Structure formats: C-alpha cells, structure tokens
Amino acid sequence: MQRASRLKRELSLLTTEPPPGITCWQEESQLDELRAQILGAADTPYEKGIFDLEIVVPERYPFEPPKIRFLTPIYHPNIDSAGRICLDVLKLPPKGAWRPSLNISTLLTSIQLLLAEPNPDDPLMADISSEYKYNKQLFLQNAREWTEKHASQQRR
C-alpha cells in the first residue's frame, strides 16, 4: 500500500512539475511499469535527442531502487547495448547509493546529468570509455551520429 500511494504522489508531481527535459508516465494501467523520456541537454552530443526509458518499480520500492533502462540505443560509456545504466543511485548499498528518500524524479535527473557528464572511470562499455578518455573528438562524433540515428523521433 505504501508503494502504491507513494508512486501515485510521485507520478502526480512528475506530471504537474516535471524536471526540465524529462517526462514520465504510467504504461497503460500498470502502476509498476512506467515510461520516461529524457531530452539530451544542449552542448552535449545528445542535444536534441529524445531518449525513451523503461522504469520497473519493484515490490519493495522505496526500499529497493526501480530498475531503469534505456530503450533508445545510446553511445555512452556508462550505458550498455541492452540499455542498462551504471549509476550508483540505481544500486543498493554497500556498492550503490540508493536511499528510500530518493525518488523517480531524482533518478531521472541523475541519469540526465550522467548523459551530460559521463563517468569513464566506472564504465559498462570499456571501448567507449577509452575512446571518451583518449579520443574525445571521435567519441563526440560517434555519440552525435547515434543520437541522430536513434534518438530523433517525436516527443510524447
């Protein structure tokens, strides 16, 4: 019950006061399956890209973090080809930094920040990470091309 009322409150806030560049909605009548879109920030290789994400809210939420993954392919050192995201707030301690005081809005904002500032020292994609570190121009070019190819669809 706590989960359902908290999710309703969070979704209502995400609808009325969404963080800039982020939209989130319920998938049909499934309360535990959400969809989100993140706009690529200006001055990043993801600029003008619209990235779709899937959010699965576990039974134990908020004591366990939601599972979030990219549905839109993205060229990024911290996001793998299956859309999984390497970000500490998406994992439980001791390895992660998830706390029940965090919410879906905070997570989506953190993911948006990760797009703007990749963490090449904690990569999921080692090859993209070393490209980011040692050949930034090539990384930026590849990331822009992927964004144009995969993330330039219509906004919800």
Q: Break the chain into its structural domains and give their ranges.
A: 1-151
Mean of the per-residue pLDDT values for the chain? 94
Fold of 1-151: Ubiquitin Conjugating Enzyme (3.10.110)
Rounded Cα gap, residues 8 and 5, in angstroms: 5
Q: Quick one: average pLDDT of 123-145? A: 97
C-alpha span between 68 and 34 (Å, rounded): 9
pLDDT band for position 27 (cuts 50, 70, 90): confident
pLDDT of residue 23: 96
Instruction: Find the catalytic residue in 50, 85, 86, 114.
Output: 86
pLDDT band of 2, cuts 50, 70, 90: confident
Give bridge partners of residue 68 from the DSSP assignment: 55
Helix axes of 136-150 and 126-134: crossing angle, nearest 10 degrees: 130
Asked if residue 156 has pLDDT above 70, the reply is no
* Contact (Cβ atoms closer than 8 angstroms) between residue 4 and residue 93: no
Q: Is 24 a catalytic residue?
A: no
């993205």: which residue's tokens?
A: 74
Specify the pTM.
0.94
Alpha carbon of 84 to those of 91, 136, 137, 138, 151: distances in Å? 12, 23, 25, 23, 17
**pLDDT (mean) for 64-82:** 97
Sign of torsion over alpha carbons 123, 129, 130, 134:
negative
| Count of all residues that appear for the chain in the document | 156
pLDDT at 30 over 90: no
